[in-house]
Structure 1
């Protein structure tokens, strides 16, 4: 992708498409997904007879692996975008991360409720239980972690989403709501 941003290659590409290559940013995970997605969008416009680029282009086998990786990353990207949206509570976030763990168990060390990054596991699990309507299941440690926040409030429901086209993240949240209604 870097090579396609040089003056000569960018001019050649500009003649064929308004799309521009995207570079990976070290601090943004989403840029990796965007760069890979843009690779497949630009691939049809890249001249395979261009000697400067031909040796830098991935082989067909590598392209198949990259396409499979892009498909896997699309679920992670969906979760990432949903976690950044408005109106999400800790229960929704935990459901999203648990849904991601179902398809990517290798993320357990990073996003599981017991991961090292979780500052207060008792607080997190307590909030999830309260938001899920399972206050009676709180352990003594969870009650103690939630004690400073105890007050009587009413729950507000978020507006229903359009079910016609749900992303991976939306399907996880909808599954939890349906399970809660049936039990």
Structure 2
């Protein structure tokens, strides 16, 4: 049928029938005219999503505030729920996610043993439980932290000290 759109081939078709195939129209003016109308209709929602996106990039935003924002976005725009919910496909560990949410919302009493195991590698060592160490001992601990499965950054996050 595509070959019958060519002018030479259309003449052969015209000898047999009065019907002719439609020509391909490169410019779809109808959709071009409705595009600004669609934009005006969704402009306010675009501005809301943009405002949340800008706020998420701030350094001062806490994890619990991010979770609240994402939950509100999922309520406002239900189509985003599969992407923003705590059990979204992108979440690698649902147990870890739920534990972090409970900790961020200051609901540590609700942590299950599974939750505690999931966040145990990130628990900070409190100074009350650890005898005071000299600066040299802390520095040596930091440089030796690479042994085993831990890297320097993980050991630094676990320690309560500020980097010197």
TM-score, normalised to structure 2, is 0.53
Match of 2:67 among 94, 113, 122: 94
Q: By how many angstroms is 1:58 displaced?
A: 4.8
- In structure 2, relative to structure 1, the CA distance for the partners of 1:89 and 1:152 (3 Å cut) is farther
Cα distance in 1 for partners of 2:30, 2:55 equals 35
Aligned residue-pair number: 98
Q: By how many angstroms is 1:152 displaced?
A: 6.3
Give the aligned partner of residue 77 of structure 1: 50
Unmatched 5+ stretches in structure 1: 1-54, 154-183
Q: Which has the higher contact order (CA 8 A, sep 6+)?
A: 1
1:92-134 per-position Cα deviation (integer Å, ceiling 9, x unaligned): 1111110100101111121111011012222222122112110
Q: Is 1:127 the counterpart of 2:105 in the alignment?
A: no
Match of 2:91 among 101, 105, 118: 118
Unmatched 5+ stretches in structure 2: 1-28, 127-164
1:7-86 to structure 2, matched below 5 A, reads: 58-59=32-33, 62-86=35-59
TM-score, normalised to structure 1, is 0.48
